[in-house]
Amino acid sequence: MSAFNALKRKLTFAEERVLVDWILASADHAMPLTLKKITEHANGILEGRGAPYKPVGRSWVERFLDWYCNEVQTHWSRPLATECARALNKDVVVHWYDLIKEKVIAKGIKPENTYRMDESGFPPSDQGIQRVVGQHGAKMQHKAGSANCKNVTVLVTICAYGTALKPTIIFKGQNILKKWGENNISKASISATENGWTDGGLALDWIMKDFDPQTWEKAGGETRVLIMDGQCSHYTADLLEFCLANNIEVYGYPPHCTHALQGLNVVCFAKMKESWKEEINAFEAIHRRGVNKEDFCEVWGKAYKKAFTTENIKAAFAATGIWPFNPDVIKLVQMKPAEATSTRSTFPLLQSSLTRAVMAAFRDYHFMEQGLHPDSPPQAGPSQFPGSLHKTGSNTPVRTPTRTQNLSPFYNKPTRKHHLDPASQADIVTPSKRMHLLRIGLANTELGSFLVTKAWATHLDMSKLIQKPVLEQVPDEHPTPDWSLLCSTRLLPSYTRHELEEHCHALSRSLANAKTWMVAQELILESQGAQLVVQNMGMEEMNLTLLAKEQRKQSDRAILFPGGKGRHLTDPELISEKRRLEDEKKEKKLAKEQRKVTKANKKASKQHLEERWKEVCCVHDTAVAA
């Protein structure tokens, strides 16, 4: 890039570098920035300079991406649930493949006895968009078809040998009509539930009437392995006990990790969705109507035959490392979004060593309950140590750090001197005492008090906790060093005495100006480091609050899958725990129903007493009137 074009840039190279790093870090954590967000970030940097600024133009972000085309580019995003983004981490993945290696591979389970089961919803209409050809100039081109958004659930089971069991189609309803099963190309089992999804009873019927009869003869008495989602609707204690009694080992995927570990999701269902859309479009083009329940088996069966081929089924097991066994199929880039957790807040960009040290100190050194040295001041205000968050002599809290109008080598130094004896000063130098002073200083500010107390974030105005950063610049009144003096090519012998004296004076003035600039820059860096420390502390406090909320009530799935890791579901201990949870759930349901009955009885009794009281009052009034 030419020097002329570089001068036209809105941001400096260092600012652009930070923005690029932020874009890449956000994308790694599954939070990619849009073009609009990048523009807002750029304007935020310009606003943070403090001086009046002109926002970047509409085409700036496009030019920005062109400048850094070797590092960033635009993509079409694909939705990923937040739970899935957080769940797939290295610890969970390593534990999962260690479990499979120990329980399946080491025991010599054959591929023809290794199965995977999952369910997926298929709306009987094309919910996507297609690129079609229409009239020139038209704003929109409609495509006639069904708008039925009701899902039909299908249970599919595949084998590592390249085969598939008969699928199970689950309609929404209480009864099953005979015509729903006509033209059943895939020879699927037909069932129905009230909500159209699997439940514990249906899953038990499936394992007893579909899976076991279709696999026991081929197994020849050998152990069968069934890997399925850990969703509670897929298994009950009765199902697990049946599997344990019939030599069927069941393993549950780590919660919210099936998007990467479940081969049906990774390969088969992805191809099935495309085939399903094609068959729907073909059906609607021929019949000029949508797919009904009586047409579903035929249309879905055609798509099923296309997607669930031997090659695709084997690819589903290979892509997720089950067969052939390969624990390295999950790449680090897939686990990047899980690096940010709710238990520890971190900035995506690496901070300076000094800033990281202060942040670590607040985590490592505990707050002292005892007082300071008797000879030290009874209360340490912000003016008692450098880096004060208050202006001296002011009781009004200010934003951290304070924006200054005049930077000097003495800026931000204490103006009051406390006379402490050497012993007192020696005591305060200790890390714990220093942390005590810093906490007291923060406690005396409106925002800092939140960081050092146990107040819940929900009780405060969240909009005031994290303030916009202040990006200070060296004030204009500070003379700029004359850097051109370094570029002089004139030899010293050619100077006269007067010229040499003038040159020495110019060098001295420039050196003095450079010193002032360096001091000012150091103070600016200190203030920016303080901003990072305070903001990081605020993030940690809020994250701890959110974590406490998350842990108030744990679901059965969280209890049975501690740490979000996969489990051997037919383990007798897990079956006992599952049975206990189911019994507790039944007891709670009965207790809830009993409370409703008790409440209704009390209400009826109260109403009866009120009616009886009205009768007594009426008789009394009649007697008094007589």
* pLDDT of residue 385 exceeding 70: no
pLDDT of residue 213: 95
Choosing among 3.30.420, 1.10.405, 3.40.50, 1.25.40, the CATH entry for 86-128+144-200+225-339 is 3.30.420
Average pLDDT of span 188-195: 91
β-pairing verdict for 567-568 and 248-252: antiparallel
Query: What's the whole-number mean pLDDT along residues 30-42?
Result: 87
For 164, the 3-state DSSP assignment is: strand
Provide the pLDDT for residue 396. Answer: 38
The rounded distance, in Å, linking the Cα atoms of 492 and 500 is 8
Q: Which residues, in sequence order, are bridge partners of residue 119?
A: 155
The token duo for 497 is 């005495």
Helix (H) or strand (E) holding 116: strand 114-122
Candidate ranges 44-48, 257-261, 594-598; pick with highest mean pLDDT: 594-598
Say how far apart CA 399 and CA 391 lie, in whole Å: 11
Residue type, 13: F
How far apart are the C-alpha atoms of 476 and 372, rounded to whole Å?
A: 43
**Measuring CA to CA, which residue among 551, 405, 568 is closest to residue 474?**
405
pLDDT of residue 258: 85
What is the spatial distance between Cα 503 and Cα 370, in angstroms, rounded to a whole number?
60
Among 328-337, 361-370, 527-536, the range scoring the smallest mean pLDDT is 361-370
Q: Which residues of 481-499 are buried (b: 16+ CB within 10 A; e: fewer)?
A: beeeeeeeeeeeeeeeeee
Q: Which of 380, 378, 404 is nearest to 391 (CA)?
A: 404
Alpha helices in 149-236 (DSSP H): 200-206, 212-219
Torsion angle defined by CA atoms of residues 242, 244, 248 and 251, in that order, rounded to the nearest 10 degrees: 110
Q: Return the number of other C-beta atoms located less than 10 Å from residue 228's C-beta.
A: 24
Contact in structure between 254 and 96 (CB atoms under 8 Å): yes
First to last CA, the chain: 111
Q: Residue 231 has what pLDDT?
A: 73
* pLDDT exceeds 90 at position 398: no
**Mean pLDDT in residue range 206-210:** 94
Length of the chain (residues): 626
CA 122 to chain centre: 27
For position 395, what pLDDT does the model report? 39
pLDDT tens-digit profile of 543-600? 777 666 655 555 666 677 777 788 888 888 889 988 988 898 899 999 999 999 999 9
CB 398 within 8 A of CB 446: no
Tokens 């926002």, located at residue: 55
Please give the share of the chain, as a percent, with pLDDT higher than 90: 33
Judge contact between 452 and 439, C-beta under 8 A.
yes
* Domains of the chain, residue spans: 3-67, 86-128+144-200+225-339, 353-550
Neighbouring CB atoms inside 10 A of 444's CB total 18
Does residue 382 have a pLDDT over 80?
A: no
| Token pair listed for 457 | 């974030």
Angle, helices 497-550 vs 353-364, to 10°: value is: 30
Is pLDDT of 376 > 50?
no
Neighbouring-strand partners of residue 159 = 115
The alpha-carbon radius of gyration of the chain (Å, integer) is 36
